[in-house]
Amino acid sequence: MPLEKYNWLFEIYQKINFDKLPHGIIINGSNGIGKKLLANEIAAKLLINKSTNSLDRDLIESNSHPDLFIVDKDKIILRHITYRKSQRKEDWDEELGERNVNNFLSMSSSISSNKVVILFNAETMNPQSQAAILKTLEEPSPNSYIIFTTNRPKSLFETIYSRCQVINIPNLTESSLNDWLSKNGISDLNSNHFPSFISPLNILEDIQNDQHSSFKNFVFIISDYIENKLDTNLAIKNISNLEIDFVTKTNYLIEFLKILLKSNLLSEELSGLYKKFNSSKFNNLKISNLINELNDVRYNYFSVPQINETHVLNYFFSELKNSIKI
């Protein structure tokens, strides 16, 4: 898919000097910012068809290009990078089989002059797989390239970073996101309707899945509760009825509190969903403590055998009333 539609990616792509590109490229950026799109477009450029001199985007997007090897796993381990003599057939990856990065790069190219490997979610690489890929970067095959995508900067060995060109995709500003939404025919929604941690492509996905109103509805429920339009039980019931999981609810509440706290500390005017809170009184210390407690709940969520969502929400809702007065 051409990048012109995603102007922030296209601007980055245009600045890449493909004549001086090293064997390793690391693309850093948050979830949903377009790392996969940019990686695929870089791969397409590197894998120009020798016969037609064209970009075989369809082959790349369908993962059927003979000179492209993609590893897209929840966790990248050693067998995805290199072959071990002790490795048995039953130990092969279910999808990749006996194929791995080093095995692929050792073969000659087919329809292109280069060979490209893309490692999506490279932050999941364990130390053994990172050590193996580092050795490959230290002794690269001719005309070979490895593209890493990661949402956690510095999640790889420093020695890997030192051998790669690092491309950072910054998050969009509020105005840039609004402009992009408008250009894509989404004029009835703006950045206020989504939490700041959600990226453009995630927003599109939410809209396509009809889940774009979940954050707005969450804020409306919280606002009505603080204004005493809803009692605690009804507010919690309405929150529980939203089709989002508990961690997302926690993230939403943290986002809501951070926006209010920031506006109060910096004396900034609130707009959109938060406009009604401009005349509110905030206890900054209590809000800060509440954010810290919510972060603890989110952090410990998966290590606790069972969490009573209603009980947790009841506690935080009561603290909200003590922290914000309209």
Tell me the CATH number at 222: 1.20.272
Both 133 and 280 in one domain: the answer is: no
Q: Does a structural domain hold residue 283? A: yes
pLDDT averaged over every residue in the chain: 87
Judge whether 189 lies within some domain.
no
Residue 321 pLDDT class (50, 70, 90 cuts):
confident
d(CA 162, CA 154): 11
Mean per-residue pLDDT, 210-236 = 89
Q: How many structural domains are present in the chain?
A: 2
The whole-model pTM stands at 0.74
Do residue 22 and residue 138 come from a single domain? yes
| Residue 49 counted as domain residue | yes
Banded pLDDT at 131 (limits 50, 70, 90): very high
Per 3-state DSSP, what percentage of the chain is helix, strand, and coil (rounded to 5)?
50, 10, 35
* Whole-number Å distance between alpha carbons of 60 and 66: 9
Model confidence pLDDT, tens digit, residues 98-113: 568 988 998 899 999 9
The proportion of the chain whose per-residue pLDDT surpasses 70, expressed as a percent, equals 93
Pair 255, 314 in one domain: yes
Residues 138 and 243 grouped into a single domain:
no
- Residue 137, C-beta contacts closer than 8 angstroms, at least 6 positions apart: 23, 24, 146, 160, 163, 164
Is 190 domain-assigned?
A: no
- Inside any domain, residue 61: yes
One domain, residues 300 and 235 = yes
Q: Is the pLDDT of residue 87 over 60?
A: no
Helix and strand element counts for the chain (H, E): 14, 7
Same domain assignment for residues 160 and 217:
no
Which residue spans within the chain are E strands per DSSP? 24-28, 68-72, 115-120, 144-150, 164-168, 281-282, 324-325
**Residue 279 pLDDT level (bands cut at 50, 70, 90):** confident
Domain boundary among 168, 183, 198: 168
Domain of 159, CATH number, reads 3.40.50.300
153 lies in the same domain as 265: no
* pLDDT in the model for residue 305: 61
For 67-71, 211-215, 248-252, 307-311, which range has the lowest pLDDT when averaged over its residues?
Answer: 211-215
Judge whether 259 lies within some domain.
Answer: yes
Looking at 168, 203, 231, the residue that finishes a domain is 168
| Domain match, 147 and 220 both | no
Examine the domain organization and report whether 68 and 123 are in the same domain: yes
Same domain, 53 and 118: yes
Do both 110 and 15 map to the same domain?
A: yes
Rounded to an integer, the average pLDDT of 265-289 is 89
Residue ending a domain, choose from 168, 203, 226: 168
Q: What is the pLDDT of residue 86?
A: 47
Residue 289 forms part of a structural domain: yes
Residue scoring higher pLDDT (218 or 197): 218
9, 40 Cβ separation under 8 angstroms: no
Asked whether residue 13 is domain-assigned, the answer is: yes
Range of the domain at 157: 3-168
* Whether 143 and 35 share a structural domain: yes
Q: What is the DSSP letter of 201?
A: H
